[in-house]
Amino acid sequence: MPIKNTMNFSFFGKKGKFDGKGGSLLEPVPFFSTLTSEEQSLIEKRARMVGFKRGDIVYEEGAPPDAFYIIISGRFRLFTRARGNERESTILFFYRGEHFGETSLLTGNVHSATVEAKTDAVVLKITADDFHKLLKEIPAISLHLSRSLGRHLTRGEIGYSHHRREVRIASFYHGNANVSTVRFLFDFVRSLRQVTGRDILIIDLSGDLATKLPQDMADIRSSRLDLASVKVASEADAAPSISKSRYGFDFLALVRNDALAIEDKKFVSLLTCLSYQYDYMVLCLPPRETAVSVKALHYSDRVYLWAESRAEAFSFASTKVNALCHDHGFSRGEVRIILQHGERVSEEDLPGVGSAQEIQLFSMLPSLQYQRYRYERMLSYLAKEWSERLVGLVLGSGAAYGLAHIGVLRVLEQEKIPIDVIAGSSIGALMGGFWAAGLDSYEIEKIAKQLDRKSAFFKLLGFRDMSAFHMGFFKGDQIVRFLKPYFGDKTFQDLKIPLRVTGADLLTSEEVVFDSGNLLNALRASISIPGFFRPFPHKGSFLLDGGIIDPLPVKTLSSMGVRKIIAVNVLPGPKDLIRRNELRRKALHAELQRQKPLPRMILRTMDRAKRRYTGNIFNVLMNTIQFMEYEIARMQAAEADVFIHAAIADGHWIEFFSPDKYITEGVSRTREQLAEIKRLLVE
């Protein structure tokens, strides 16, 4: 579904919401964006913006707490040094939209680890005094941070010298447990085990899983522990009741007695003990809220809501989202709705999707029976997303310069670099669409070379496609007909790799991100160069080229939780343009030296005329747009983990009929960054 992104750069004269005037600086932060505008304003008045360079230390291990930090852009690393040597041990990473420094402020202890900027970054810094004042003035912050602190305490993240394991806990809700529900949960955990290789435990608090297990998982039916028998101590021993599954994860079913008021304390004691034994825990909660389920939510990083492909089932999930956010301090980014067989359900059938409530589907799970490959791939995606192992590829805008993306894709194929999700603007969206649909780089090159003659290319911009200057010189119908054989009626759900396509809303100047629906329509919208092609009509508005607002959509992937991002910018910068002019002068000089006097004079005259009279309106318009896009892309590139600048100096935006040199440039620049890419994969 297309998603409006309110964090944007301005093109149509409207103030963007990131400039401190048109909106709040806290918009990118999942939790703080849920506060009222007055509460956000109160926070911003007590905060100041601070920038860090790659490698800067924010604070050292053992230093007293002095501030609370909210990440606006960039990435930070939390690490410790072993006593007696300089060997570092990385604990975790902090990303855009997250915050740090609150643990020491709340406990009064010195910092247990060091924080380092891994990229150029910007944070909002709130001093210790102002932080404590805000806790009193805004109770919602206290609730959110107390829940966060509770998770840290449970995991042992306070006092890293004793316990360095990062434990992640998720709660799982279902409206009505059945075999397919249990199948999904166990398949998801199995995939998580395959992706991470870590120790994983499922704790059933609902009482439903053990009775509805698939037959091939009958080996875990007998694992049950009476919660009343658990000792309130850190050494609670649940091992005898934990069943070992042949799929690599463990299972524990808890028997509850509602009459025992102390059960929530016993559960916390049990959870604390188990956090020293497992890296991931999934807590299956009952639909009805209990004291124990509230405690489970208190210690959970996120919540998964399973819903069948029925409006009433989705309604249950969406209602639960609102309750989790309002009553338990979760941000909407911490809640995941998983819809079974979602490709058979239209958005109109689901209440709340795209509404002011901002209820969004996280995943539409295909049928296991009919689409096993897609089902397994989606499970792997969900597992990588939770474990922060997703690798994203961002393909930027650039007209013909975007042919270099083919070379980038070729190297990724040859080196077997796993790409889990793609985001693209303009020509980057088109190339990403081909690749996501299953075409390899050689097949994409073959398509590009259908236009390797000028006559073939200009057929796409022929007389029949002219629009009588109505909102654009060309209608774009010819390009749609050219692309139709390759995409047909494919939707985003038909792709082999998840794809995000960006466009720019002409009427609101907001970015629109497509992640569902007809793929060809989304691509046509994203390549609608202003003035060149007629804007694409969409839901009562008109969409323009995605590169206008977001030429390098890194933030599109980072907002999805993608933590490893490779970004490719193909637009030439000032140095490239200077280089291009130098190359052209040298080429002209060499050609003049080879000519006799009369041809030399004619050649000079033709060159002067060419430079004077070929500044047509298309060149002026495209060069202006690309100058702007390059500057935006340069800023966006700072948020990527690996940046590839595959811009050829001796090129032109309309040279679709000369693909070879662009592809070669893409291959060369990607090879230069290959060591960084491989380092990113194992980080």
Identified catalytic residue from 104, 180, 425, 426:
426
Do 338 and 363 meet the contact criterion of CB atoms below 8 Å apart?
Answer: yes
b/e code 87-97 from CB counts within 10 Å (16+ = b): eeeebbebbbb
Do 16 and 8 meet the contact criterion of CB atoms below 8 Å apart?
Answer: yes
Among residues 439, 412, 418, 393, which one has the least CA distance to residue 671?
412
Among residues 315, 304, 313, which one has the least CA distance to residue 382?
304
Which ranges constitute the DSSP H helices of 171-301? 179-196, 263-274, 291-298
Do 502 and 553 meet the contact criterion of CB atoms below 8 Å apart?
Answer: yes
The DSSP secondary structure of 82-116, one letter per residue, reads -TTS--EEEEEEE-TT-EESHHHHHH-PPPSSEEE
Among residues 274, 148, 269, which one has the least CA distance to residue 199?
274
Helix axes 427-436, 404-414, angle to 10 degrees: 30
Helix axes 519-526, 477-487, angle to 10 degrees: 140
d(CA 205, CA 290): 10
Identify the DSSP state of 547.
Answer: G
d(CA 114, CA 661): 46
CA distances from 5 to 17, 509, 525 (A): 10, 10, 16
Token pair in block for residue 262: 């102390």
The DSSP secondary structure of 302-369, one letter per residue, reads EEEEEE-SSHHHHHHHHHHHHHHHHHH---GGGEEEEEETGGG--GGGSTTBTSTT-B--SEEEPPTT
Ramachandran angles phi, psi of 295, nearest 5°: -65, -40
Identified catalytic residue from 279, 545, 550, 641:
545
Token pair in block for residue 615: 């500044």
CA distances from 216 to 183, 297, 454 (A): 10, 30, 61
d(CA 244, CA 252): 9
Q: Any catalytic annotation for residue 545?
A: yes
Query: What are the catalytic residues?
Result: 426, 545
